[in-house]
């Protein structure tokens, strides 16, 4: 079982092609949707886990549910600002193992030591336990910077300027390996 992370896929969002032409060089939204589904399923196996940090789709709940059903893995959604109507729909909800507004977990693998992980759609200036080395993953920015880039924080969105390899999903181990090289953010102005 492998763990993956992504954010701000925006399935079905025609204008995202205009907003982010560098990271979304597609002729039309159907091409983007189908390429992202192929890319996802070429990486993610059915037994894998995928954390999606919001803004899954700009579609009707039924259309979004049909796309989610085509994607491999156990999907956990951390709700973004564009997911409210989707998450109110039962057919959409049942495509996910869980849906959260905010999520904290302990993550550990063969390559990553036990790490506190804070996931939210939006960047947080000071996340829980940041001054103890906790990592913060977020989306929402579509390539803009947050000011958190030097710390143990990362925009994991499809359009991320910090860590963009053109992938629809990223290995959690790779993301955390990168984040753990960042500075530990001090709490407020105090030195701890």
Q: What is the pLDDT of residue 181?
A: 95
CA 116/CA 25 separation, integer angstroms = 35
Q: Is the pLDDT of residue 135 over 70?
A: yes
Selected residue with higher pLDDT from 61 and 142: 61
pLDDT single digits (tens) 83-113: 999 999 999 999 999 999 999 999 999 999 9
In angstroms, what CA-CA distances link 140 with 71, 75, 82, 86, 132? 21, 19, 10, 17, 25
Q: What is the DSSP string of 60-99?
A: -HHHHHHHHHHS-SEEEEE--TT-HHHHT-HHHHTTSSEE
H or E segment and range at residue 31: helix 29-43
pTM summary value: 0.94
pLDDT single digits (tens) 138-165: 999 988 889 999 999 999 999 986 655 6
Is the four-CA dihedral 70, 41, 115, 158 of positive or negative sign?
Answer: negative
CA 62/CA 152 separation, integer angstroms = 37
pLDDT > 90 fraction of the chain, expressed in percent and rounded? 85
3-179 classified as CATH 1.10.10.10: no
Question: Where do the domains of the chain lie?
Answer: 3-179
CA 104/CA 52 separation, integer angstroms = 14
End-to-end CA gap in the chain = 37
Q: Is the pLDDT of residue 11 over 80?
A: yes
Residue tagged 């992504």 (tokens): 6
What are the φ and ψ backbone dihedral angles of 81, each rounded to 5 degrees?
Answer: -65, -20
């Amino acid at each position: 079982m492998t763990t993956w992370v992504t954010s701000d896929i925006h399935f079905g969002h025609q204008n995202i092609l205009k907003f982010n032409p560098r990271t979304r060089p597609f002729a039309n939204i159907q091409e983007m949707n189908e390429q992202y589904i192929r890319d996802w399923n070429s990486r993610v196996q059915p037994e894998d886990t995928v954390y999606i940090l919001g803004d899954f789709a700009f579609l009707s709940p039924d259309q979004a549910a049909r796309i989610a059903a085509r994607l491999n893995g156990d999907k956990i959604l951390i709700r973004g600002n564009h997911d409210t109507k989707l998450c109110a729909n039962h057919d959409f909800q049942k495509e996910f193992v869980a849906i959260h507004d905010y999520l904290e977990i302990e993550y550990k693998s063969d390559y990553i030591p036990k790490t506190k992980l804070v996931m939210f759609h939006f960047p947080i200036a000071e996340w829980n336990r940041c001054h103890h080395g906790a990592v913060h993953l977020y989306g929402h920015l579509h390539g803009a910077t947050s000011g958190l880039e030097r710390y143990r924080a990362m925009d994991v969105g499809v359009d991320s300027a910090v860590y963009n390899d053109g992938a629809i999903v990223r290995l959690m181990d790779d993301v955390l390996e990168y984040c753990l090289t960042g500075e530990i953010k001090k709490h407020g102005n105090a030195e701890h």
